[in-house]
């Protein structure tokens, strides 16, 4: 398995992708480089004691695979699960790209790079949590803040061209008065709408893993910012590789396209008081699938009750989502204080006696 780090041509320090400049920067000497200037160091790993078998073997079917690789910079062992494609060396903190997991059919075609910096993700986290009165302080403590992580999640992005037809029943109602008499006229129509439609960047999750749900609340992403994939964009971030193939996602994509087509055809019918669709047919003429990595800032928190809560931010648009814990002690004290104040007011006003 190839293990890659990208080195600074000036000082040999580890390079990471900088969302602000959209270049690669060295955290040691502060230099900036374009992708064409990158120098990479590969460490090819052979099967060795302590290295778990690749997914697909007998052990992989029994329990999740754990793989151990040597950091090309310092030689420390880097331990990952079977879907991790980029991480950090815990010892020297250099970014490590497990490029062997992104080769062949598993190589992404496209990537949307981070444009939101970590500092902004943290700042927005603090602003967001300050508006939530009963979030435990431990959720946004300094120790927690340091765990905000940029992660690339794998998705299938699908462009489609379809032809659709909708048959519907529609009515028009006209009401008028003549003298003391009110008249109502109802006309019934058969309506047909038919046409070609195109869809772009329908996102379908390509990771069958619990943490994939973190991305759901921060869609959509702007597909116009897609770039051809290069492992260098992963340097300085974590990344997951896909474990859901196109065949597993086809049904959901086709269903989503059919629903979109139905909405578009329905919205094209106007001028009636009531429209009731009776039949919808959609034939898919072409689907173009692109295996793409999408950028998300992530912070997770495991509460004392064992529940996992999280904060996520779209690494391209800055859209925020999350499920936050509640400090029930603070909640109790808050409402207890309100109750006490109300009791005192009522006592002073003589309402209780």
Model confidence at 164: pLDDT above 50: yes
The residues, ordered by sequence, that sit 6+ positions from 172 with a Cβ below 8 Å of its Cβ are 186, 187, 189, 271, 272, 273
> Which pLDDT score is estimated for 209?
73
Q: Give the pLDDT band of residue 95 (cuts 50, 70, 90).
A: confident
> Which pLDDT score is estimated for 336?
58
Using the Cα atoms of residue 103, residue 106, residue 109 and residue 110 in order, give the sign of their dihedral: negative
Question: Cβ(215)–Cβ(294) under 8 Å?
Answer: yes
Model confidence at 90: pLDDT above 60: no
In this structure, of 47-51, 294-298, 317-321, 329-333, the range with the lowest mean pLDDT score is 47-51
Helix (H, G, I), strand (E, B) or coil at 279: strand
Domain ranges of the chain: 1-107, 153-323
Q: List pLDDT tens digits, range 102-116.
A: 788 889 999 999 999
Structure tokens at 130: 């300050």
- The mean per-residue pLDDT over the stretch 150-170 comes to 94
Question: Cβ(328)–Cβ(136) under 8 Å?
Answer: no
pTM: 0.75
Q: Give the pLDDT band of residue 184 (cuts 50, 70, 90).
A: very high
> Which pLDDT score is estimated for 351?
55
Model confidence at 132: pLDDT above 70: no
- CA atoms of 135 and 68, how far apart (whole Å): 37
Question: Cβ(55)–Cβ(65) under 8 Å?
Answer: yes
> Which pLDDT score is estimated for 262?
95
> Which pLDDT score is estimated for 54?
41
Q: List pLDDT tens digits, range 34-74.
A: 877 776 665 443 333 333 334 433 333 344 456 676 777 77
Model confidence at 131: pLDDT above 90: no
Question: Cβ(149)–Cβ(312) under 8 Å?
Answer: no
Question: Cβ(215)–Cβ(91) under 8 Å?
Answer: no
Pairing of strands 110-111, 274-302: parallel
- The mean per-residue pLDDT over the stretch 127-133 comes to 72
Question: Cβ(243)–Cβ(105) under 8 Å?
Answer: no
62 or 8, higher pLDDT: 8
> Which pLDDT score is estimated for 9?
84
User: Chain-centre distance of CA 83, in angstroms?
Assistant: 16
The residues, ordered by sequence, that sit 6+ positions from 294 with a Cβ below 8 Å of its Cβ are 112, 152, 153, 154, 155, 203, 215, 221, 315, 316
Given 3-state DSSP classes, what are the helix, strand and coil percentages for the chain, each rounded to the nearest 5? 25, 40, 35
């Amino acid at each position: 398995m190839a293990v890659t780090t990208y080195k600074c041509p000036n000082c040999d320090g580890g390079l990471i992708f900088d969302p602000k400049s959209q270049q690669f920067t060295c955290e040691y000497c502060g230099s900036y480089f374009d992708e064409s200037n990158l120098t990479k160091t590969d460490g090819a790993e052979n099967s060795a004691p302590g290295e778990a078998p690749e997914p697909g073997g007998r052990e992989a079917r029994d329990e999740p695979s754990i793989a151990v690789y040597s950091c090309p910079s310092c030689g420390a062992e880097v331990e990952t699960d079977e879907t991790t494609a980029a991480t950090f060396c815990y010892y020297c903190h250099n970014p490590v790209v497990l490029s062997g997991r992104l080769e062949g059919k598993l190589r992404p075609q496209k990537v949307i790079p981070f444009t939101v910096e970590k500092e902004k993700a943290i700042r927005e986290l603090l602003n967001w949590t300050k508006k939530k009165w009963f979030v435990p302080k431990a959720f946004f403590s300094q120790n927690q803040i340091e765990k905000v992580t940029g992660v690339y999640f794998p998705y299938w992005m699908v462009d489609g061209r379809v032809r659709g037809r909708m048959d519907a029943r529609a009515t028009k109602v006209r009401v008028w008065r003549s003298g003391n008499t009110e008249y109502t006229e109802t006309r019934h129509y058969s309506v047909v709408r038919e046409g070609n439609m195109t869809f772009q960047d329908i996102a379908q999750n390509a990771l069958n893993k619990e943490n994939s749900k973190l991305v759901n609340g921060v869609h959509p992403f702007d597909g116009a910012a897609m770039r051809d994939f290069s492992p260098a964009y992963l340097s300085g971030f974590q990344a997951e590789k896909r474990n859901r193939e196109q065949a597993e996602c086809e049904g959901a994509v086709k269903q989503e396209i059919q629903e979109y087509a139905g909405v578009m055809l329905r919205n094209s019918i106007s001028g009636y008081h009531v429209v009731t669709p009776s039949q919808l047919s959609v034939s898919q003429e072409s689907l173009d699938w692109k295996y793409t990595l999408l950028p998300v800032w992530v912070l997770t928190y495991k509460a004392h009750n064992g529940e996992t809560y999280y904060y996520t931010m779209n690494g391209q648009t800055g859209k925020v989502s999350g499920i936050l814990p509640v400090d029930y002690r603070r909640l109790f004290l808050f409402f207890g204080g309100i109750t006490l104040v109300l009791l005192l007011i009522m006592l002073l006003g003589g309402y209780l006696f």
